[in-house]
Structure 1
């Protein structure tokens, strides 16, 4: 199924005539703590190619929805559109293990296990934990999960299974949690989730969505503070991408200056943590501006890079590495 479609006019933000100012200390920190390489990722959520990235294989890393397109929360920025682009487990009529085995036979090396949330913000992983263990032990596949707000029992099980990472949104504003996610929770619940993952040895891959509150920057800075207080494998930053048919279809994303400023802050706050620009962000000229800012701010990688960004990074002395999987995955 096709990936969600950006809303008409969602790329209308005009890029500034000059690039946003970024503290040179960001690139200096990057070079101090990391090799001169930049990772470009393209998971199997959509077909992707530019003149610089032609080796994309959608079959190599597959996102599976445990709930099909069903989600009890129907968050305002998504409204299940993202789920519609995933492999539909209920529609397959197969167990999770059997579905992964079939995908592995077709060339898959890894999977992202996702799905819609229940009213408490949890993806229903528990009924599939035994299958997940078999996927790791018998198939040897790399496993990432979208657990939502997993409870202690689920975190313990994920730690025992040995997943590659738990990809979790971290939200720092209570109004955003309630008005966008339709969830009766507090920022403290997201921080407690990070603590649970760390306690059980689950590699955390926190995501912060810039402009999540209807295009406004609200809880992002608090979210970064929470992430900094807990163990994490890497941090993924994404930018609100208004999707057609959602409550945010007509929303304007944050301006490039705010986006670049936050990229810089993340690099300076987490100097030795890989920071990546993830899949979601507006398209068109703003996407290219965002991607250039990510390179200039010393971020470690970019998913679905815009045309010309590989060369832009190379001109700054960074050697590209391409992976057909989610941010931070290495085979």
Structure 2
């Protein structure tokens, strides 16, 4: 990726675009992301910090929005940045009957909704369709909320999800074929993700695209393309993540993306989509890194942060960040 030194001309151009259209162009967003300028200099482009939603979906002892895997720890994707590790932290429910049991039991303990996820098939799909009747019944009978992690979808599959009346569908948007090929065993391209967003939109399913910054070994690859794809879509919430590394995953030697790169992608997204909800999601490193990223997020005007590591004026919400907060 080419780097640029962002001087006053680019800052002035960004301001002109914002004044004329209310947002910046993809070209300017790309220049910001690729720039060598410190993020502190770029804060001048951001709106004034505001009150931020703080999401705590799995706050103990009784999480209000726990995650469930419909495949247990099974996954064919073999992603180097996960290796099935993150599925181990979800409640397993590998049959519709078991999903009903798990959800009703957790609802008795105070759960208000669930993230329904699972492992991928090689075609990039989470095998969730046979669980949709149970999800619909749980929504109607117990008034529970659902965020489902779908993977790649056809239009017919998206219509089935629409009939289940889920609250939101979360879709990982990996917008680099190189990243998909090198990091996963999936037989898909980024065009399949792009088509999935289109199919959800046509079917009338609310969706929240997720972009993991630095997914490619901690380096940027595809983030600008992801913003290009989203510039053509009608979404309400964009969730930004940052690569989490661990000795328990195949890509354990990779480092998280530099904080300033994460901040620049956040800024580009904020300025490209000023009318959309922009949320810093749960998947991001901890410690001082997390504090630095969260501090930047507040200064850049994000709408929400999952389990924030910095003090600020927050509206606390015990739910998944992809859902629209209730008034």
**If the length of structure 1 is used for normalisation, what is the TM-score?**
0.82
| Corresponding residue to 1:290 among 278, 288, 293 | 293
Give the structure 1 partner of residue 78 of structure 2: 74
Give the structure 2 partner of residue 325 of structure 1: 319
Once the 2 structures are TM-superposed, how far is the Cα of residue 321 of structure 1 from its aligned partner?
A: 0.6
Give the structure 2 partner of residue 219 of structure 1: 222
In structure 1, list runs of 5 or more residues that go unmatched: 1-17, 48-55, 315-319
| Corresponding residue to 2:55 among 24, 38, 41 | 41
Query: Following the alignment from structure 1 to structure 2, what is the Cα–Cα distance between the partners of residues 26 and 188?
Result: 31
| Corresponding residue to 1:128 among 119, 128, 131 | 131
Give the structure 2 partner of residue 21 of structure 1: 41
Matches within 5 A, 1:310-321: 310-311=311-312, 314=313, 320-321=314-315
In structure 2, list runs of 5 or more residues that go unmatched: 1-37
Once the 2 structures are TM-superposed, how far is the Cα of residue 213 of structure 1 from its aligned partner?
A: 0.6
Matches within 5 A, 1:1-331: 20-27=40-47, 36-44=50-58, 58-90=62-94, 94-306=97-309, 309-311=310-312, 314=313, 320-329=314-323, 330-331=325-326
Asked if structure 2 preserves the Cα contact closer than 8 Å seen for 1:20 and 1:260, the reply is no
Query: Following the alignment from structure 2 to structure 1, what is the Cα–Cα distance between the partners of residues 286 and 47?
Result: 25
Query: Following the alignment from structure 2 to structure 1, what is the Cα–Cα distance between the partners of residues 62 and 101?
Result: 19
Deviating 4+ runs (over 6 angstroms): none
Structural RMSD (CA): 1.8
Query: Following the alignment from structure 1 to structure 2, what is the Cα–Cα distance between the partners of residues 211 and 189?
Result: 20
Query: Following the alignment from structure 1 to structure 2, what is the Cα–Cα distance between the partners of residues 189 and 26?
Result: 33
Structure (1 or 2) with the greater helix fraction: 2
- 1:252-301 CA distance string (max 9 Å, x none): 11112211111110001101001000001112211111001111111111
**If the length of structure 2 is used for normalisation, what is the TM-score?**
0.83
Higher RCO structure (Cα 8 Å, ≥6 apart):
1
SS of the counterpart of 1:321? strand
- 1:222-266 CA distance string (max 9 Å, x none): 011112211112000000010222122121111122111111100
